Structure 1
Amino acid sequence: MKLILASNSPRRRQLLTELGLTYEIRLLAVDEEFPPHLHRAEVAEFLAARKAAAYVDGLAEDELLITADTIVCLENEVLNKPVDRADAQAMLGRLQGRAHDVFTGVCLRTGDGRQVVFSDQTTVHFRALTSAEIDHYIDTCQPYDKAGSYGAQDWLGMAAIDRLEGSYFNVMGLPTHRVWAELEKLGATQR
């Protein structure tokens, strides 16, 4: 099957490439609003499936689409991508010194109509941060395209994450172990 990645994320591209997969990028704008009754993993799975639904009519029978959405949850509140510097400062101020959960929802949809939706959870423990560290991170890494205002692979992740419970790659934006297992079930891994 020909793999199609519907994501503009350089991290997802990197992870699929490092898995040894060959894929094509296809991009469409998709609304990322979600119903307020959904919580935590449900939000990530809903958004991944919504993204896949936008591509259904354009998939050939021999194609397999991969869509994903990563969210950060502080308790039951979803922290989306920051809208500006003040929002990023506020989010990182709330996350510092605490644990939070990262969920990545993934949807795999084949051109012949099969669909698998799943999510993975990682608990991230941040050490306490100073406002100067937060400002340094925002100034040097521009985290405006990242849920929760940070990337685990960036300076802040290296300097602030005390420990993880779960997959590091999930925090980067794709639970590679789960994706690989599901692709194998669908007969879509290339060996």
Structure 2
Amino acid sequence: MLVLASASPRRRELLAQIGLNFRVLPSSIPEDVRSGESPVAYVTRVAREKARAVYTAQSEGDAEEDALLVLGADTAVVAPNGEILGKPADEADAARMLRLLSGATHEVVTGVCLLSDVAEEIAAEVTYVTVNTLSDAEIAAYIATGEPNDKAGAYGIQGYAARWIPRIHGCYFNVMGLPLALVVNMLEGMQARMGLQRRLVAR
């Protein structure tokens, strides 16, 4: 049984989009950046902590009919000045983040952890995103939509903000929160290591 250790509706939608069978069991791991932590170290650590927390909780519960496989993920936006941007604390913080991204190219980094009883696999994906120069009025109007509230870097590429993104270099789905090709490769490798006969993808 594949379990997604995340409350993100976008990650849930992406896994469903590619036909995976899974359950959602969010973790409550703190997502604070540690002093001196690089973006890749940060997102992979949080992804690992999410996966481990859910795996431990499930392992201590009722026995599963299927082998337990937990997927943890965490995404961060890295501003051109190197600051790691999580979800904005409030509207003022969202405006600050959007001003940092305006008229420049930034990185979106997602850490992924796949955990089973036979192995723990960790990887990260980086995508480069270019944003047009934004006026204060455009930033204020965007914040008023409420879209930035729960998104790393205060924007969602799949929503209203798409109008300001002329190009990306790398995985589009990574910017949404889950690099699908990477995840599928990890799942297939883990399935082989676990000796699973039944596919995770519904036919």
Q: Structure 2-normalised TM-score?
A: 0.88
Segments of 5+ residues of structure 1 without an aligned counterpart are: none
Confirm whether residue 101 of structure 1 aligns to residue 100 of structure 2.
no
Q: Could you tell me whether the CA contact under 8 Å between 1:81 and 1:146 is conserved in 2?
A: yes
Provide the residue aligned with 1:27 in structure 2. 26
Q: 1:43 Cα shift? A: 1.1
**Is residue 72–residue 102 contact of structure 1 (8 Å, CA) maintained in 2?**
yes
- What is the CA distance between 1:53 and its match in structure 2? 2.1
Question: Partner letter of residue 72 of structure 1?
Answer: V
Verify: 1:127 aligned to 2:152, yes or no: no
Q: Aligned-pair distance for 1:29?
A: 1.2
Q: Which residue of 1 aligns with 2:188?
A: 184
Larger Rg: 2
Distance 1:169 1:142 in 2: 18
1:140 aligns with 2:141: no
Q: 2:173 aligns with which of 169, 174, 177?
A: 169
- Who is 1:41 aligned against? 40
Partner residue of 1:154 out of 151, 159, 182? 159
Q: Distance in 2 between matches of 1:177 and 1:66?
A: 14
Moved >4 Å (runs of 4+): none
CA contact (8 A) 1:122 1:167 kept: yes
1:106-150 superposed Cα distances (whole Å, 9 cap, x missing partner) = 11101x141111110000000111111111111113312111101
1:86 to 82, 87, 92: 92
3-state SS, counterpart of residue 26 of structure 2: coil
User: Retained in 1: the 8 A contact 2:26–2:54?
Assistant: no
Give the secondary structure class of the aligned counterpart of 2:42.
helix
Work out the CA distance in 2 between the residues paired with 1:138 and 1:32: 23
* TM-score, normalised with respect to structure 1: 0.93
- The equivalent of 1:67 in structure 2 is 72
CA separation in 1, counterparts of 2:41 and 2:73? 13
Q: Which has the higher strand share?
A: 1
Q: Distance in 2 between matches of 1:169 and 1:125?
A: 15
Secondary structure at 2:30 match in 1:
coil
Distance apart, 1:52 and its partner CA: 1.5
Shift of residue 32 of structure 1?
Answer: 1.2
Alpha carbons 1:141, 1:154 under 8 Å: kept:
no
Q: Which runs of 5+ in 2 are unaligned?
A: 192-198
